[in-house]
Amino acid sequence: MFELIEEYQLLSAFWMTIKLAAFSAVISLVVGTVVAIMRLSPVKIFQSVGTAYVTLLRNTPLTLIVILCSLGIWGQLNIDLASRESSTFLVDNNFRWAVAGLSAYHAAFVCEALRSGVNTIPLGQAEAARSIGLTFAQSMRQVILPQAFRGAITPLGNVLIALTKNTTVVAAIGVAETAYRMKALAEFEPALLMVGFAIVALGFVILTLPMGMLTSYLSGRLAVKR
């Protein structure tokens, strides 16, 4: 088993999965928060743009989004996310476009998770914020979003777990994560395919189980008391 892990570089593949999940999680959290604010904004055009983003991205297959980033935006429009002078140009460029696709897709789910957190906040708090003279931006920053994040810990944790598992999709554009290595294993070592599947499955359990446990702990610890 250890020889199999070494030969097909499964440890480096899981490290690639961790990097994809980490970068995509941070970017999707930022983008999703901005989109959530747009959807909650009193300005109609911002509401429309936010709603359109969530509706379009959430209902588009992730594989299509990732391939569009690579073959469409990079392949057809020649927009690079890495220096062509670099010896690792293709690897870096594919990785960054994979992160872009994963982030754009999961930002829609982060937005909806935050909106579910906002729905847990009594309406009177927003009215109180306005009554003491806070602007929309100030009330969102000081009153609404801090409570929304605490109320949305569980759905945000679920989005992170889904994101980690969805990193396997980027094998479609040649990023050497676990699914990409599994493809090579299935091609050259079909007799050991079940062993390979067991290793990958165990690896994802090791990655996602602590996330679920931490989410449950934080949800109980940081829940807004009513």
Q: What is the CATH number of the domain that holds 45?
A: 1.10.3720.10
* pLDDT tens by residue, 51-65: 999 999 999 999 999
Does 216 fall in a domain? no
From 47, 24, 40, select the one nearest 141 (Cα to Cα). Answer: 40
Structural domain range at position 111:
18-175
From 115, 119, 77, 79, select the one nearest 97 (Cα to Cα). Answer: 79
Alpha helix positions (H), the chain: 2-7, 10-40, 44-58, 62-67, 89-118, 123-131, 136-139, 145-151, 153-166, 178-188, 193-221
Is the per-residue pLDDT at 177 higher than 70? no
Query: Would you place residue 133 in the very low, low, confident or very high pLDDT band (cuts 50, 70, 90)?
Result: confident
The span from the CA of 130 to the CA of 107, in Å, is 28
The span from the CA of 16 to the CA of 52, in Å, is 32
Phi, psi angles (nearest 5°) of residue 20 = -60, -45
Q: What is the model's pLDDT at position 1?
A: 59
Is the per-residue pLDDT at 69 higher than 60? yes
Does 197 fall in a domain? no
Q: How large is the average pLDDT for residues 20-26?
A: 94
pTM of the model: 0.87
Query: Would you place residue 5 in the very low, low, confident or very high pLDDT band (cuts 50, 70, 90)?
Result: low
Task: Give the tokens for residue 87.
Answer: 């010896």
Is the per-residue pLDDT at 2 higher than 70? no
Residue 132 DSSP class = T
The span from the CA of 54 to the CA of 67, in Å, is 19
Does 163 fall in a domain? yes
Does 1 fall in a domain? no
Task: Give the tokens for residue 123.
Answer: 């309406």
Does 166 fall in a domain? yes
Does 183 fall in a domain? no
Does 189 fall in a domain? no
Does 54 fall in a domain? yes
Is the per-residue pLDDT at 224 higher than 70? no
Contact 35, 106 (CB under 8 A): no
The span from the CA of 95 to the CA of 91, in Å, is 6
Tally of structural domains, the chain: 1
